[in-house]
Structure 1
Amino acid sequence: MKKFTVIGAALLVSIGSSAIAQTTVVLPGEVRTYVLEQNTPSVTYEGEIVVGSPLPEVVEVHPIPDQPDFAYAIVNNKRVIVNPKTHTVVEVLQ
Structure 2
Amino acid sequence: MKKLFAMAATLMITSSSVAFAQDAVIVEVPQQTRDYVIANPSDPVVIDGDLTQGYVIPQDVELRPIPDSPQYGYVYVNGQPVIVSLENRKVIYLSK
Q: Fold conserved (TM > 0.5)?
A: yes
Name the TM-score, length of structure 2 as normaliser. Answer: 0.71
> Aligned residue for 1:89?
91
| Structure 1 residue ranges without an equivalent (≥5) | 1-11
Q: Could you tell me how far apart the structure 2 residues matched to 1:93 and 1:46 are? A: 17
- State, as a whole percentage, how many aligned pairs show the same letter: 29
RMSD of Structure 2 on Structure 1 (CA): 2.1
Indicate conservation of the 8 Å contact 2:42/2:76, yes or no: yes
TM score, norm. by length of structure 1:
0.73
- Runs of 4 or more above 4 Å deviation: none
| Partner residue, 1:7 | none
- Which segments of 5 or more consecutive residues in structure 2 lack a partner in the other structure? 1-14
Structure 1 letter corresponding to 2:88: T
1:40 CA displacement: 1.3
Residue of structure 2 in register with 1:62 after alignment: 64
